[in-house]
Structure 1
Amino acid sequence: MRAALFVTCINDALYPSAAVATVKLLERLGVRVAFPAGQTCCGQPQFNTGYRTATEPLVRRMIDAFDDAEYVVTPSGSCAAMVRDNYPRIAARAFTGGRGSDLEKDARSLAARTWELTEFLTDVLGVVDVGAHFPHTVTYHPSCHGLRMLGLGERPRRLLERVDGLRLTDLPGAEECCGFGGTFAVKNSDVSAAMGHDKITNALSTGADVLCGGDNSCLMHLEGMLRRQGAPLRPLHLAEILASTVDDPWSP
């Protein structure tokens, strides 16, 4: 099986270890991973801020970049939701520029082929035990897009529960937003910080070593608050936990 990695901006620029872990994990499971070099931002920041027409060229670029991919896999629930939920609607209203109705058809095609990492593992590959080893106590934060737009449900937890050595603790208020929300954190910083404070207070109460999530944007928001407090809790992308093995362990 072949799959194309949709790396996302934040992983490419700030958290490349999550992208590397995704590739290592998929290849360990027998997937041949390609990286289309033409990919750029999916347009989520522009679209969420109200600039729909400025998002259209990025939709076209993503469609072209992943045109021949059977599966498109991304370690980001928010970016997967952008492609799956918003691309067809953006394309339906777009100035076609000579492409006619093909743009909407192509957007729907890409949406149907795009998978968040945990749903690709469980729904496409049909695996829950990925052979990981992670001897640490972990609490899991389900980010809003994965929880509400993609409906990931228990998929991430089922994967974590099968990791050798991992002790999974329940996060109080797990389904509450962490307060990041992209540009929401900039435009409504006081509210965002208050929501983030509640989230890390709950996370610290679990006694976990690691705060795990499927979106590095949310983890970045929480990591900044944890660092300013000097808290020992370490935010870490789910892919890095699942990629960790006895022979190739994760190290802080």
Structure 2
Amino acid sequence: MKVGLFIPCYINAVYPEVGRASYELLVRLGCDVEYPLDQTCCGQPMANAGFERDAKDLAERMNTLFAKYDYVVGPSASCVVFVREGYPRLLDNYKEHACVDSRIWEICEFIHDVLKPAKIDARFPHKVSLQNSCHGVRKLGLSSPSELSVPYMSKLRDLLGLVEGIEIVEPERRDECCGFGGMFAVEENAVSGRMGRDKVRAHVATGAEYIVGADSSCLMHMQGIIAHDKLAVKTLHVVEILNSKL
């Protein structure tokens, strides 16, 4: 299968190691992966700020750039959700099942639901606490929302369970928001900071060495609090663990 790797702008700028791990992991799992060098922002920041129509040119550019791929895969739930939900409104001459929104997947969702590996040759002998991002849980179904009376499941836990030596735990109120929320962290910074501090403390209470999740934006928010409060816990994207070599 031909996969176009979509690396969101903030990951490209702040967490390039997540982009590299995403590429290497997909190749290791048998995908034919290309990284289009001319890609730019998907437009989500504009939409979050209330200027979605200003993202139209970015949507058209991305739709053209990724047109030739069977799958478009990116390591960010919130960006993937924006493309899926926002692009049908933004694209000229929109055709259902033909545009990029119908072929884009969050990377953990893609590995779990499409590739379905029986094993992953990775080792990570550490205790990790799962960070469930709001977009991942409630828009992409990466885990079951706690507010619904449904059996618990977690695709992140399933994937990490394939890694040798890992111990997986989850904090109390496992899918409570970390407080980032894009523009929310800017416009309501005091509330956002308090939510983040509460979330970090819940992760620390598990005794985990790492907070791991599928959204670098949430991890970035919590890492700022960890650095400010001089805590020993670290943050890590799930793909970096799945790509850990034996």
Give the structure-2-normalised TM-score: 0.93
- Other-structure match for 1:22: 22
What percentage of aligned pairs have identical amino acids? 42
- Other-structure match for 1:150: 140
2:106 pairs with 1:116: yes
Given residue 48 of structure 1, which amino acid in structure 2 is its aligned partner? Answer: N
Rounded Cα–Cα distance in structure 2 between residues aligned with 1:228 and 1:178: 16
- Other-structure match for 1:132: 122
Shift of 1:143: 0.4
**1:190-236 Cα distance to aligned partner (Å, 9 max, x none):** 11011101100101001101100101111000000001111010000
Q: How many residues align?
A: 236
Higher helix content, 1 or 2: 1
Shift of 1:117: 0.6
Contact 2:223 2:234 in 1 (8 A): yes
Shift of 1:66: 0.4
Contact 1:208 1:233 in 2 (8 A): yes
- Other-structure match for 1:53: 53
Given residue 195 of structure 1, which amino acid in structure 2 is its aligned partner? Answer: M
Given residue 139 of structure 1, which amino acid in structure 2 is its aligned partner? Answer: S
Rounded Cα–Cα distance in structure 1 between residues aligned with 2:118 and 2:61: 33
Rounded Cα–Cα distance in structure 1 between residues aligned with 2:155 and 2:169: 16
Shift of 1:111: 1.1
Of 81-90 and 2-11, deviating more is 81-90
Shift of 1:119: 1.3
Contact 2:123 2:244 in 1 (8 A): yes
| Structure-2 change in CA distance of 1:128 and 1:226 (3 Å) | farther
Contact 1:56 1:90 in 2 (8 A): yes
**1:51-84 Cα distance to aligned partner (Å, 9 max, x none):** 0221111111110110111110101111111111
Rounded Cα–Cα distance in structure 2 between residues aligned with 1:33 and 1:169: 32
Rounded Cα–Cα distance in structure 2 between residues aligned with 1:126 and 1:217: 26
Contact 2:131 2:170 in 1 (8 A): no
Tell me, which stretches of 5 or more residues in structure 1 are unaligned? Answer: 97-101, 247-252
Contact 1:88 1:108 in 2 (8 A): no
Given residue 163 of structure 2, which amino acid in structure 1 is its aligned partner? Answer: V
- Other-structure match for 2:203: 203
Rounded Cα–Cα distance in structure 1 between residues aligned with 2:210 and 2:139: 25
- Other-structure match for 2:63: 63
2:237 pairs with 1:237: yes
- Other-structure match for 2:186: 186
Give the structure-1-normalised TM-score: 0.90
Contact 1:88 1:107 in 2 (8 A): no
